[in-house]
Structure 1
Amino acid sequence: MTVLAADRPGLVRALSETIAAHGGSWQESRMARLAGQFAGILRVECPAGETEALLKALAGLESQGIAVQARQEEAASPSERETVGVDIVGNDRPGIIRELSAAIASAGGNVEDLSTSLESAPMAGHPIFHAKGLVSLPADRDPAVLIAAIEKLGPDLSVTIEG
């Protein structure tokens, strides 16, 4: 499910109480505050007999200013993939996320987690793009293929692979 709301104290509490009231178990999540807004993505498990009631209760949080989009899914089967950490730094430019995501996909990668920011370049002060995250690759794929695909985007990009 995804959760969006104007940030304020008690949002996670309201969400977790709703989930617990229907026998749900909060499995994993990523939550952030960005420009005064709360955004979260989470995975919840609940008893099959409670699913519809939980979905209805989550939709009811709209009256508290909490927009929840949820859908029922079966657990995904694990695939033969390896996850590597990526740290990418370079000059900022329009379209850099589009270029980066295309390069990752061309190497067979899938973005699992990604945080991006603009930072001030030391000694120069112009904005530097910084991305850090996790990318999964087919188990038989050499991470060097990923590095090469990203570095093709320009000589100003520095890529470090961890793991």
Structure 2
Amino acid sequence: MDHLVLTVIAQDQPGLVERLAKCVAEQGGNWLESRMARMAGQFAGILRVAVPKESRDTLVQALQGLDVAGIRVLFADSGNEPPAGSWKPILLELVGNDRPGIVRDITQVLAEQGVNLENLLTDVSPAPMSGDPLFHAEALLAVPLSLSLDTLKARLETLADDLMVELNLRAEE
């Protein structure tokens, strides 16, 4: 079996995921995992499928054919996963007044420490009392075992003070 990672984007519409799933199934593919969401009238997702080696090219062609329906699909072969037990999962939560550069600044510190971002959810919503825009982020971090949580926390807390945001790190349960 070949494993493909697909990135999908299209104008949001009912039945979009069904068309994608039907295309995968008709070519003998197996939908393994996905993350999908609607945002600003668009629907985007990333998914991993397994497909018999002999059906791979046919599946790619069939998925490319969805372009006529406005569904764009990009393809990549599955990459190498980090070895199990080489990192610890840490949850990061951040809340603060919105301003440009928050994601850039946080991810720069993470990258400098060798931390990989496994999952990231962000949004901006009005603060309860003032209505000012509040930036919220939740991330699952893959922290190398060689990096102490105290070291990471100290570096991020220094940045949080500069950004004037509340930041919380905790081990994933």
Cα deviation, residue 77, structure 1: 4.2
Give distance in 2, aligned partners of 1:118 and 1:49: 45
Letter in 1 for 2:68: S
Cα deviation, residue 21, structure 1: 1.0
What residue number does 2:7 align with? 2
Cα deviation, residue 76, structure 1: 2.0
Gaps (5+ residues) in structure 2? 1-5
Q: Secondary structure at the match of 1:124?
A: coil
Post-superposition CA distance 1:11-67 (Å, at most 9, x none): 100100111111111111100000110000011111111111111111111011100
What residue number does 1:30 align with? 35
Q: Secondary structure at the match of 2:139?
A: strand
Post-superposition CA distance 1:56-92 (Å, at most 9, x none): 111111011100001233x524321121111111222
What residue number does 1:71 align with? 76
* Distance 1:122-1:6 versus aligned 2 partners, 3 A rule: same
Identity %: 42
Q: Secondary structure at the match of 2:76?
A: coil
Cα deviation, residue 141, structure 1: 2.0
Contact 2:64 2:73 in 1 (8 A): yes
What residue number does 1:47 align with? 52
Give distance in 1, aligned partners of 2:26 and 2:113: 44
Q: State yes or no: 1:136 paired with 2:138.
A: no
Q: Secondary structure at the match of 1:141?
A: coil
Return structure 1 stretches of 4+ with deviation > 3 angstroms.
Answer: none
- Residue 90 of structure 2, aligned match among 84, 95, 114: 84
Provide the alpha-carbon RMSD of the alignment.
Answer: 1.5
Structure with bigger strand share is 2
TM norm structure 1:
0.92
- Residue 109 of structure 1, aligned match among 102, 106, 115: 115
Q: Secondary structure at the match of 2:55?
A: helix
- Residue 152 of structure 1, aligned match among 153, 158, 173: 158
Give distance in 2, aligned partners of 1:133 and 1:154: 15
- Report the number of matched residues: 162
Give distance in 1, aligned partners of 2:81 and 2:97: 39
What residue number does 2:3 align with? none
Give distance in 1, aligned partners of 2:76 and 2:25: 17
Contact 2:95 2:166 in 1 (8 A): yes
Give distance in 2, aligned partners of 1:65 and 1:9: 13
